[in-house]
Amino acid sequence: MTLKVSLSLLSADFGRLKEEIEAGTEAGADMLHLDIMDGHFVPNLSFGLPVIESIAQVAKIPLDAHLMVMNPDFYIEPLAEMGVKYMSFHSEVALHSHRLLQKVKSLGIKGGIAINPGTPVTSVVPLLELTDFVLIMSVNPGFGGQKFIEYSLEKIKYLKDFRAAKGLPFEIEVDGGVNDTNIGLLTAAGVDIAVVGAFVYKSGDYKKALCAFKL
């Protein structure tokens, strides 16, 4: 399977967001990653629904929404109406993860479950037959440009082995500190989707930076 790159707009220049989206798409990104933060689940705010609607109007590749919020259910239907294709929420806040995944998938969206660095990967095992993808946070969520947490590799390997043993089709996504030095380890461990932000948007040459992930 070819690695998919989900380009995180959190690291883009918000004053030139349309141009940044177009440049990242032209450079070879497969998806646009939306880090949706509420200032409660994570100590930061990013963009709300009106900004996402504007992004959706100019995006020519799928939108990958990561809900870092205390009330993920509030966002599901509005984001579905905007055409979001991938949507993940955190197991740490969802009281009824199974039900939420069913709701996301019923709207024609690929539903994912996300876990923080301090959350055991085994906690999502009951959801793996239903989920379309698992998002492993390899930094503590809330801010871009952080250093990759090495033990995230063990979580990814666990999911890869579990998937193979059970014959399940879910994808494995990783977000946080992904760059050209660790992408080989990540793909070997089992990653299918890599969220990349600062490495590309701070590079000065988006196409050259994204080429590092076209393995």
- Separation between Cα atoms, residue 179 and residue 162, nearest integer Å: 26
User: What percent of the chain lies above the pLDDT cut of 70?
Assistant: 96
Q: Which of 130 and 1 is assigned the larger pLDDT?
A: 130
Q: Which amino acid is at 136?
A: I
> Does position 144 have pLDDT exceeding 90, yes or no?
no
Tokens representing residue 14 in the block: 């918000």
Position 215 scores a pLDDT of 62
CA nearest 35: which of 53, 21, 52, 50? 52
Per-chain mean pLDDT for the chain: 93
pLDDT digits (tens, 9 = 90+) for 169-207: 999 999 999 999 999 999 999 999 999 999 999 998 999
Position 141 scores a pLDDT of 67
- Just list the catalytic residues: 35, 175
pLDDT digits (tens, 9 = 90+) for 72-128: 999 999 999 999 999 999 989 888 999 999 999 999 999 999 999 999 999 999 999
Element (H, E) at 133: strand 133-137
3-class SS at 122? helix
